[in-house]
Amino acid sequence: MTKSHPGEANPLLEPWTGPFEAPPFDLIRSDEFRAAFDRALAEARAETDAIAANPEPPTFANTIEAVERSGKNLDKVASVFFNLVGTDSDETLEAVERDMAPILSRHRSAFFLNEALFARVAELYANRAKLGLDPEQARVLERYHLNFTRNGAGLPPAAKARLADIGERLASLGAQFGQNVLADEKAYLLILDIEDLGGLPDFLIASAARIAAERGHPGKYGITLSRSSIEPFLQFSNRRDLRERAFRAWSARGESDGHTDNRPIAAEMVRLRAERAALLGYESFAHFRLADTMAKTPQAALDLLESVWTPAVRRAAEEEGALQKLAAAEGENFAIAPWDWRYYAEKQRKAEFDLDEGEIKPYLQLGKLIEAAFYAANRLFGLSFTERFDIPLYNKGARAFEVARDGKPVALFIGDYLARSSKRSGAWMSDFRGQHKLDGAQLPIIVNVMNFAQGGEGEPSLLSFDDARTLFHEFGHGLHGMLSDVTYPTLSGTNVARDFVEFPSQLYEHWLEQPEILRRFALHYETGAPMPETLIEKLVAARKFNQGFATLEYAASALVDLSLHLNATPEDLDVVALEQKELARIGMPEAIAMRHRTPHFQHIFSGESYSAGYYSYLWSEILDADGFEAFHETGDIFHTETARRLHDFVYAAGGSRDYEAAYAGFRGRAPSPEALLRKRGLDGAPAEG
């Protein structure tokens, strides 16, 4: 990589003049980020200081709107940087991340602990009823006042200094945690010979051959710790010894005794979070985090998780019994273990519904599923998607689409779908620029990132049904960003409570499962023939299959997350021992493993997005299950008036409304929790007693 030279213009800080004013990825170099950060931080600090020192009395315009306009270059640099760290990282970016994480945290702390600035915000908040604010402005002011107080404004100097130190250390630890997981995933490769391929379908064999060749083992086959590689291996391989070896490596990410060991990092992060919560006057970090959510309290989140736990345990026991019978019928006498569950569940699904993944996957082409997600958005919200080839992107695997409505651009959407070693595992939505209308319309640039397996040479990438659901889920998040229609950046898009943000994404998954969508877009990759009606019927019938397992692996992770963060004094913490203690308390079946074990639980430790908040997927599922029933009740999955309310009160509203009011505006009432159990097929499970 060429080095930048003194005096050269830094493209990260220059005006971006290309289509959609998208980042000029063809000009950006990894070694330019540090200098860009330094300049952008200095600019942002000067802007904040000027607002705080303004001799004029505070007004909404000279304080809140001024802050909303500040730090534009820092926002530009940070959005590009952190997106690249997740999607196309290299050693230079990782080094910059380690350096910048504490610096950016210190900058954030300095902003929220600026007493002169807080005094202006507090004065406005105290007099808010007299300011003549519109509802969105009132919401912005409320959010600023709350964010300042939740970050330590008004505390004694020693407490504020300690909060800043804690934030800086947590930022460094979170960056290292994520890099350690990525390093473990990149380092592992299960090499297979041709005799090790028993049970594997053609699509997985082709993918494994390509992986091995890329890693320097031509003629062999390779399984990685990417979910799109290892999960189908666990599902289909008839080699129990290899399934166990692969599963144990997958489960042990972040739990080595070497330099990538995340156990001490997680323990320190839990301790620091508890200390921060105590400084802010909260009983625990979980109480602090949930105070600003729909749930409000940890007990409300625990009540929800435990309400599904009992029926899910009973359902999982029935499922395990069926799998045990299958193994016995094959002459096996071992107890079903976590590395067996997916393998025998696939056999059970075929036996129960005459359905197997190998039969489904040829009909689920990545390109067609992208079209399906676009089609549903067109029918619901009038959006059109046109691929753009004139916009430079950061990796040749990414694609750009202009999003329009009524002939007018709405957003730029970037899809980055395929796995690669420079990308962290998982799937997510982010943005390179958020929507707002503060100084004229700023159109959003939204990105969806996934890790689907590459197709064989000349063949499309084929998805499992779970993969396809992930694509729709992340596109639901994407729509939340693209359809945002608010004035202020603070309220834009997905800037909402953690247990509300999953509602638009989980709701969107429902359209994938509709026969109308499958008939149109589930086309065989070789023949072009549509998925047979009998297969569609089997897919729909099998929708609730294995939901005991799915519910427990998720809920166990959420309960461990809360257990970690409800601890008010986590001294001498062994996070794995606490994990095992909590699993024993809740009665986790030995045959099922947590979806995310603590040493690689990036949701809660690579940053704080879901810390003490992993429960939020289930909380949002109440909303999505009940919300989709609104369409079913009309008899039309694209019902125009229902879609309009969904758009206006949810997708376009960002954080501009109270969340309960937003949902009620869409649905006409509060959500029905029973819809969640109906969706998961747990409503008929026997109760305890």
Residues 389 and 476 in one domain: yes
Contact 419, 232 (CB under 8 A): no
Contacts of 537 (CB under 8 A, 6+ apart): none
Domain boundary among 199, 225, 252: 252
474 counts as catalytic: yes
Give the pair of three-digit tokens for residue 510: 């429902």
Assign 176 to helix, strand or coil.
helix
The verdict on residue 517 lying in a domain is yes
Closest CA to 265 of 599, 596, 527: 599
Q: Which CATH number does the domain housing residue 117 bear?
A: 1.20.1050.40
What are the two backbone dihedrals, phi and then psi, of residue 159, each rounded to the nearest 5 degrees? -65, -40
Adjacency order of strands within the sheet including 445-452: 383-388, 398-405, 408-418, 445-452, 428-433
The verdict on residue 229 lying in a domain is yes
Assign 256 to helix, strand or coil.
coil
pLDDT for 684 equals 66
Residues 136 and 221 in one domain: no
Contacts of 391 (CB under 8 A, 6+ apart): 18, 19, 20, 22, 400, 412
What are the two backbone dihedrals, phi and then psi, of residue 391, each rounded to the nearest 5 degrees? -110, 115
Angle ∠(534,537,542) on CA atoms, nearest 5: 125
Residues 119 and 84 in one domain: yes
pLDDT for 4 equals 45
Residues 522 and 549 in one domain: no
Closest CA to 55 of 116, 140, 133: 116
Task: Please classify residue 335 by burial: count the beta carbons closer than 10 Å to its beta carbon, then call 0-12 exposed, 13-18 middle and 19+ buried.
Answer: exposed
Distance CA 496, CA 113 (A): 23
pLDDT for 659 equals 95
Per-block mean pLDDT, blocks of 10 residues, the chain (689 long) = 56 94 96 97 98 98 98 97 95 95 96 97 98 98 97 96 96 95 94 97 92 95 93 96 98 94 97 97 97 96 95 96 96 97 95 88 96 98 98 96 97 96 92 96 97 87 94 98 98 96 97 96 97 93 93 97 93 95 97 97 92 96 95 97 98 96 96 90 56
Domain boundary among 204, 231, 252: 252
Q: Which CATH number does the domain housing residue 658 bear?
A: 1.10.1370.10
3-state helix/strand/coil string of 45-60: HHHHHHHHCCCCCCCH
pLDDT for 689 equals 28
The verdict on residue 258 lying in a domain is no
Query: Residue 58 CA to chain centroid, in angstroms?
Result: 38
* Count of alpha carbons within 13 angstroms of residue 385, beta-carbon side: 21
Candidates 32, 474, 513, 621; catalytic one: 474
The verdict on residue 239 lying in a domain is yes
- Using CA atoms of 207, 457, 389, 452 in order, give the dihedral in degrees to the nearest 10: -10
Strands 408-418 and 445-452: parallel
Residues 562 and 651 in one domain: yes
Residues 587 and 662 in one domain: yes
Residue carrying the six token digits 């897919």: 539
pLDDT for 275 equals 97
The verdict on residue 345 lying in a domain is no
The verdict on residue 268 lying in a domain is no
Q: Which CATH number does the domain housing residue 519 bear?
A: 1.10.1370.40
pLDDT for 7 equals 52
The verdict on residue 180 lying in a domain is no
The verdict on residue 272 lying in a domain is no
What is the identity of the amino acid at 171?
A: A
Residues 491 and 365 in one domain: yes
Distance CA 197, CA 206 (A): 11
Residues 482 and 550 in one domain: no
Q: How many domains does the chain have?
A: 4
Give the pair of three-digit tokens for residue 247: 């599963």
Q: What is the DSSP letter of 649?
A: I
Q: What is the DSSP letter of 22?
A: -
Positive or negative CA dihedral for 118, 122, 128, 131?
Answer: negative
* Count of alpha carbons within 13 angstroms of residue 645, beta-carbon side: 16
pLDDT for 21 equals 96
What are the two backbone dihedrals, phi and then psi, of residue 414, each rounded to the nearest 5 degrees? -115, 125
Domain boundary among 108, 133, 154: 154
Residues 147 and 87 in one domain: yes
Residue carrying the six token digits 């009432």: 669
**Which residue range is the domain that position 76 belongs to?**
21-154
pLDDT for 165 equals 96
Positive or negative CA dihedral for 190, 195, 197, 203?
Answer: positive
List pLDDT tens digits, range 431-452: 999 999 999 999 999 999 999 9
Residues in the chain, total: 689
Residues 132 and 45 in one domain: yes
What are the two backbone dihedrals, phi and then psi, of residue 56, each rounded to the nearest 5 degrees? -70, 150
Residues 94 and 221 in one domain: no
Residues 519 and 636 in one domain: no
Positive or negative CA dihedral for 101, 102, 106, 112?
Answer: positive
